[in-house]
Amino acid sequence: MPSSGNLFRKTAFVFAGGGSFGAIQVGMMHALAAHGVVADMVVGSSVGALNGAYYAGVPTLDGVKHLADIWRRLRNKDVFPISVLTLFAFLRHRDFLISHDGVRRLIDDYLPYRNLQEAKLPLHIVTTNIVTGDSVVLSDGPAAEAIIASTAIPGVFAPVLHKGMYLADGAISSNTPVRVAVEKGARRLIILPTGFACMGDAPPKGVIANALHAVTLLISRQIIDDLEEIDPSIEYRVVPPLCPLVGSAYDFSRTDEHIERAIRKTEQWIAEGGLEQHGIPGELRPHAH
């Protein structure tokens, strides 16, 4: 389902959040790009802001392959640089656990532009005003500031002060920014969720892992709610997430597996007519194994 280029059928790629499960979106993008599926705009939140921002800068199959290489090199310490010193500082002086240095370094090293309006595709990053709970959409200005704000999990990362507002993770208000895409003029949506760890009999171990697991559950519910309330004139397709999915959204050790599985599953979905099918995949709804 390539974009028509028609204003009234403008296609948006909508990237949800999900921590390290963002690798799944990379596999989805690979299969979509290989089949000539393109976007007119990109809307992203949380880790989806990172993936969406990179795609908006290099919206090609080669670009997606390079993003996959970046993901395969990532380790927990690259995104969540925790040390004894950071824990000590958190306990004594701070209201957040980790600095933004890891995420900022990824953006500075790999994003091929500096301001959102310089991306090849129109790009909209969803954040949350941590004081009011309202969604704040950033479409121009420094890309690093916008992405860092959208990925700032409360209590883990500090909120970002932007134009007098304290901005944090888009997951709090609109992690799957379906409504934002429609407000920005999209009439065809391709939604790339990360899914959630549906196979297991206990929550993951660790404070950050538990927080991220809760966020992924929230995301899935939000996607369903948004799509069940969407205007019937809006055409949408939801790329099915991986299922069963094990592990934690805090664990980057399964990145290669997630990318390869997502490529295969998305290719199968396309081959079975997924791009012409309307509906919410069962993998996204609450379930267990």
How many whole angstroms separate alpha carbon 164 and alpha carbon 121?
Answer: 28
Instruction: Estimate to the nearest angstrom the gap between the alpha carbon of 159 and the chain centroid.
Output: 18
Q: What is the pLDDT of residue 41?
A: 98
Q: What is the pLDDT of residue 170?
A: 84
What phi and psi, each to the nearest 5 degrees, are found at residue 135? Answer: -75, 140
Q: What is the pLDDT of residue 231?
A: 93
Q: What is the pLDDT of residue 209?
A: 87
Q: What is the pLDDT of residue 91?
A: 45
Model pTM greater than 0.85?
yes
Q: What is the pLDDT of residue 205?
A: 85
Residue 286, classed as helix, strand or coil, is coil
What phi and psi, each to the nearest 5 degrees, are found at residue 123? Answer: -130, 130
E strands in the chain: 11-15, 41-45, 123-129, 135-138, 160-162, 165-168, 188-192, 235-238
Q: What is the pLDDT of residue 153?
A: 86
pLDDT per position in the chain (289 positions), as tens?
444 444 457 999 999 999 999 999 999 999 999 999 999 999 999 999 999 999 999 999 999 999 999 999 999 888 887 654 444 444 455 565 677 888 999 999 999 999 999 999 999 999 999 999 999 999 999 999 999 999 998 878 889 999 999 999 987 876 568 989 999 999 999 999 999 999 877 888 887 888 888 889 888 888 999 999 999 999 999 999 999 999 999 999 999 999 999 999 999 999 999 999 989 999 999 888 8
How many whole angstroms separate alpha carbon 181 and alpha carbon 279?
Answer: 18
